Structure 1
Amino acid sequence: MTQELFDVIIVGGGVNGCGVARDCALRGLKTLLIEKKDLCGGTSGASSGMIHGGLRYLLYDVKTTRTSSKDSGYIQKIAPFLLFRIPLLYLMNKEKGFRSELLAELLETFFEVYDRYAKLKNGKPHTRLNREEVLQLEPGLASHIQGAMTFDEWGIDAYRLCVLNAKDAQKNGAKILLHTQVLDFLFESEGDKKKIKGVVVQTSEGKKHHYFGKLVLNLAGPWIPKLCQKAGVEVKLRPAKGIHIVFDRRISNVGFVTETIDRRSIFLLPHQNT
């Protein structure tokens, strides 16, 4: 049975796990990354791949909008080759009476505020389009669309991001175990308390190994609570679920933001060159 000591053991091979593994390895820490399936096989691989600038937070959490836009800018400096710009139209529905113009003015004011953060993420300022201008971009829009506001966000290839982070971590000395599941933690007593000192893992071939670490990080995404239970700790997590419908052809060269019948937001996004 393998017994090896690491400075840091990371459980979870998603965006967070791979990024932290690379960061630790670059700092000279002996690092182990463990993933029960394949890299980016969970939440990271099931996302829309959009780096949000924080548009939806603007109404109630401006600080988050600023932070999101700054983070988008950082990623562009670090890995521009992984990014692609997504031009978007925020569609405006036709309303009764003067409400259409009033809502359009309010929406334009909203995007004027969002423009202030555009420089942080290398974004383009918004433009207000009437129905005729919108139809020139997308003739197939429904008759109740009266216009749109343009804006843009950045898309990223999440799979490449994970894999490249992991490869660079490995290049700098990190050990990466795929298709390896954490069965339990190893403990040592400190008075009346227990301290985690490592993990018990099982490979896809059924072989078990012990790995010891000065620090064990639980970055298992939605599986964080389940892993914490093995340490006798209860962690409550409120998962958020999104639904993606993937078409077998390109619907449009621009993305759309609109609302469903029950007023929930929905995105229609072109993905890279597919």
Structure 2
Amino acid sequence: MTEPRPSPEPPAHCDVLVVGGGINGAGIARDLAGRGLRVVLCEKDDLASHTSGASTKLIHGGLRYLEYYEFGLVRKSLAEREVLLKSAPHIMWPLRFVMPHDPGMRPAWMIRIGLFMYDHLARREVLPGSGSIDLRSHAAGKPLQRRFSRGFVYSDGWVDDARLVVLNALDAAARGATVLTRCACIDAKREATQWQLTLREAGGATRRLTARALVNAAGPWAAQFLAEHAHAPKTRALRLVKGSHIVVPRMFEHDHAYIFQNPDKRIIFAIPYEGAFTLIGTTDVEYRGPIGDAKIDEEEIVYLCEQASRYFERPVRRADVHWSYSGVRPLIDDESGNPAAVTRDYSLELDTSAAPLLSVFGGKITTFRKLAEEAADRLSPPLAVAKGAWTEGTFLPGGDLSAWIGPPQRPDTDFERFVQALTKKHPALPEALVRRLARAYGGRVSLVLDAGPAGTLGAEVAPGLFEAELNYLHAHEWARSTDDVLWRRSKLGLHMDAAARARVADWCRSHWPEAASAAAASKETTWS
């Protein structure tokens, strides 16, 4: 397959324009391109710059959804966990979750029944089943208050959500799609057999193209896009719910995550994050402000600190919050009174009364591949596409490690064997750097290691970040600003002080012609 490079030039005509560079839009573009269609994906900001890059970063069935009788959604999500883990073992891996038992919350028998269903609703090959643990002797009990003596443990998965979006866009481009970032679809006029489309780039230049079909995957902007740009009636009500997270210094040393039950019947997670940190979230708050301006409220910070402090021996204090982020989830309005109870399932609306229009409502990151497959299946008849579903069992870019380790065995052990092989090939590189690059790029890591001057990493722009990686991110992964590098393609910003981040910004502005305008146009990452 030809190695893709970001293309600034959209074709004059395509089969499908996909609007929205989140996980659903990127997944749909990938699936359609793999079926032989000419696809253009446009995103008004950067890839994964909104909801899809602000998740709790879990590949999970949704244990708590069982209480709301969402058995179909849970089954579908559980079945997808191992499909996704096998497709990209560098950015996704198994994670064990510990639920301390609080008798004042859900009774033990109810938890056991829920975990039994969680184990058996879908087939498992890699992930171990659930069980009980003695927190007085298990390592997971050490950071908890002494009143917790019993707990339950089960399996789900972790994902680097922003990189998952990028990998889908990379695969779409490798299969012939054109990916346009910082390029908005500002007008879509529907005709009998095609759409007349106007795209506007960040600098203000506009381009026109035609497409046989239009996919509205604008996430929380989906209803707004239909009304204001596609001149189409809104067919599905969306409920916008803000989910916020805080990042604090590491609360525990082991590699398990926690799921905590709260008195309001919600749950929060406390997850190992970026080595030195713990990620705590999420909230569920009705959101009615400008979608792109969502930020954590002080009340949310207090809530997350208080609920985590109900479990940890060492309280989580406001002053501990190192960073925070928020995303707006576009949930299907099922008239549930409690935002936490609103379904996380998705709905696809296909209108073929003229040129096809497919709108995506709702969804969760775990089911993105199934959503994309179903969307492509729905569009195939009106577009006369013969090729069927193909993404299950197919690696995402970097996920195929066989050139380094031979035939795959298990995604978690495969990755560790890959790190060993990479370390052996590059013994002069620091071990932490080798592991980070392996995690980020998987089997594509040689493209990074060879992207500096004379095949070296080049100068170290900031601690652990070299010119070679910056060159690669710009040439191959649509990075155009400092935030693209430090907060979406990586989370290196968490590990740098202000001076180091400024050096990265200076380097980008001096080497990338788009960086200055991108920084001016975007809302830079803010710190708590």
Q: Same fold (TM over 0.5)?
A: yes
Q: Is the 8 A contact 2:199 2:206 kept in 1?
A: yes
Give the direction of change, closer, same or farther, for the CA distance of 1:11–1:208 in structure 2 (3 Å limit).
Answer: same
Q: Is the 8 A contact 1:38 1:179 kept in 2?
A: yes
Mapping for residues 1-274 of structure 1, pairs under 5 Å:
4-59=12-67, 60-95=69-104, 103-117=107-121, 119-120=123-124, 122-134=126-138, 136-188=139-191, 197-230=195-228, 231-234=231-234, 235-249=236-250, 251-252=252-253, 253-271=255-273, 273-274=275-276
Q: Deviations over 1:19-41 (max 9, x none)?
A: 11111111111110000011111
Output one character per residue of 1:164-221: Cα deviation in whole Å (capped at 9) or x when no partner. 2212211221111111112111233x5xxxx761321111111011121000100010
Map of 2:327 onto structure 1: none
Contact 1:115 1:126 in 2 (8 A): yes
Q: Which residue of 1 aligns with 2:378?
A: none
Question: Are 1:118 and 1:125, in contact at CA under 8 Å, matched by a contact in 2?
Answer: no
Please identify runs of 4+ aligned residues in structure 1 that moved more than 4 A: none
- Tell me how far apart the structure 2 counterparts of residues 243 and 106 of structure 1 sit (CA, whole Å): 28
Of 167-176 and 34-43, more deviation after overlay is shown by 167-176
Name the SS for the 2:223 alignment partner: helix
What is the root-mean-square deviation of aligned Cα atoms in Å?
A: 2.4
Partner amino acid for 1:168?
D
CA distance in 2, matches of 1:110, 1:202: 49
The residue type paired with residue 201 of structure 1 is L
Residue pair 2:98, 2:140 contacting (<8 A) in 1 also: no
Q: Call closer, same or farther: CA 1:250–1:198 in 2, change over 3 Å.
A: farther
Asked if the contact 1:124–1:151 (Cα under 8 Å) also holds between the matched residues in 2, the reply is yes
Partner SS for 2:90: helix
Query: Which stretch shifts more, 79-88 or 38-47?
Result: 79-88
Superposed displacement of residue 226, structure 1? 0.9
Counterpart residue type for residue 241 of structure 1: K
Task: Compare the two structures and name the one with the higher helix fraction.
Answer: 2
How much does 1:162 deviate?
1.4
CA displacement 1:91-144 (0-9 Å, x = unmatched): 11145xxxx9x922332233223222464363212121234134x433221233
Aligned residues: 263
**Structure-2 separation of matches of 1:110 and 1:165:** 33
Select between 15-24 and 244-253 the one with higher mean Cα deviation: 244-253
The 2-side partners of 1:218 and 1:84 are apart by 31
Return the alpha-carbon distance in structure 2 between the equivalents of residues 229 and 103 of structure 1: 47
The 3-state SS of whatever aligns with 2:222 is: helix
Using structure 2 for the length normalisation, give the TM-score: 0.47
Any conservation in 2 of the 1:33–1:175 contact (CA below 8 Å)?
yes
- Please identify, of 37-46 and 63-72, the stretch whose mean Cα deviation from structure 2 is larger: 63-72
Gapped runs of 5+ residues in structure 1?
none
Does the CA-based 8 Å contact 1:94-1:145 persist in structure 2? Answer: no
> C-alpha deviations, 1:47-101, integer Å up to 9, x for none?
0110112322334132322211111122123223321221110111145xxxx9x
Which amino acid counterpart does residue 109 of structure 1 have in structure 2? I
Cα separation, partners in 2 of 1:51 and 1:116, compared to 1, 3 Å: same
Which stretch of the first structure deviates more once superposed, 121-130 or 159-168? 121-130
Letter in 2 for 1:108: R
CA distance in structure 2 between the partners assigned to 1:243 and 1:203 by the alignment = 30
- Letter paired with 1:61: E
Distance 1:110 1:225 in 2: 35
Q: Identify unmatched segments of 5+ residues in structure 2.
A: 1-9, 277-528
| Structure of greater relative contact order (alpha carbons < 8 Å, 6+ residues apart) | 1
